[in-house]
Structure 1
């Protein structure tokens, strides 16, 4: 679902990723493998959505997916940082993404 070009399918994949992280966040054995395979894809999707939203106004779907991806990241780091998340290959892209989100101008309709 995350590799699909359809916004709705990617949205469903993002929701599934969040639920997967929620389900396994206390599992010391399973979570690092899930994070290693899932998080590079999530940061790439988020980065692509931010690139899209700079060229045109961000849609509600894009803003909702950005929120869910960041929520997935937060849920994964609450208890522990996996070895992948401590590596520069993960810290740098996620750090850049967080700085871009902080600097993002949110349209009035995007504010609840």
Structure 2
């Protein structure tokens, strides 16, 4: 989610509250009209990492009590039924997403 130049990446893992990585606008707003790169990857073990442009990766741990199975990916917004379980307002992304790769393909 991009909100006032800050980026928040949420990973829903089922019964647990979502894991999140936040990059604050104080580190440089991302709604500056410039092109940015975003990389989200699963790390060895039980974590995922988020990297913006060439900045250092930010990691968040995933729960150990259940397997991680990626079934759905949402870019730019989330469906109403997911929004209700996240207890967060859904602010749809407006802009351009290009050169998207999933599983490095």
When the two structures are superposed, what TM-score results if normalisation uses the length of structure 2? 0.29
When the two structures are superposed, what TM-score results if normalisation uses the length of structure 1? 0.28
**Larger proportion of helix:** 1
With a CA cutoff of 8 Å and minimum separation of 6, indicate the structure with the bigger relative contact order: 1
